[in-house]
Amino acid sequence: MTTDDAADPAPGSALRLPLALPGQRIGLFGGSFDPPHAGHLTLSLMAIRRLRLDAVWWLVTPGNPLKDHAPGALARRLAAAEAMANDPRIVVTAVEASMKTRYTADTLAILARRLAGVKLVWLMGADNLCQFHRWRHWRQIAQTMPIAVYDRPASTFRAMASPAAQALARFRLDESDAALLPGHATPAWVFLHGPRVAMSSTALRAGSIKESARS
């Protein structure tokens, strides 16, 4: 994958990014991916289809600031994400580790500036909308780029009733207009329904612990 390393004295300047051309539609999908699973893949492929994205970048985070346990080693999670993604439109990155950003608001501010002209959309599962109002500068995130939220079992109603969903209610696009989201004036968001995947990294970690206890 070609990278962009144009000179820029501002913070985040040493950052090498996957190639993105002006006008392209890119989904940014942050996550712990500890480990990655079919839920991540389904969300990404549905977002590509429904938002007509050119690509989805998985931003494998050094650590979710709201989680009290540290995730597994970044190199292991990146390798597992590469193996799981297995689609040329999904690009696995460690940009937050390179930028040394911890909060999504900081990450997205840098990416939006570096990728001016690219139509960026923040992607997340419905469980994250439930607690989005606890994220640092969440209103600023909603001003920085449009957001697409993908349905997840047990989160649909809680997500729509959440403080952030309520606060941003008037900026929600109809799902039938999802393809208008990339490049839309902000704030703007959409809730995407589709195949719901009852899979989580927590369950997979619990399974592998049981597995190793048996062997």
Binding site for ligand NCN (CB under 6 A): 30-32, 59, 61, 64-67, 103-105, 128, 135-136
- Is 44 near ligand ATP (CB under 6 A)? no
Residues β-bridged to residue 28: 57, 122
Find the shortest distance in angstroms from Cβ 36 to ligand ATP: 7
Find the shortest distance in angstroms from Cβ 175 to ligand ATP: 16
- Is 32 near ligand ATP (CB under 6 A)? yes
Pick the stretch among 1-9, 18-26, 36-44, 206-214 that binds ligand ATP (CB under 6 A).
Answer: 36-44
Q: What does the per-residue mask of binding to ligand ATP show for 123-142, with x meaning CB under 6 A?
A: -xx-xx--------------
- The listed partner (ligand ATP, ligand NCN, none) that binds 146, CB under 5 to 8 Å by sort, is none
DSSP string across 154-213: TTHHHHHTSHHHHHTGGGBPPGGGGGG-TTPPSS-EEEE--------HHHHHHHHHHHHH
Amino acid at 72: G
DSSP state of 63: -
Pick from 122, 150, 189, 191: which binds ligand ATP (CB under 6 A)? 150
- Torsion angle in degrees (nearest 10) through CA of 109, 159, 81, 22: -40
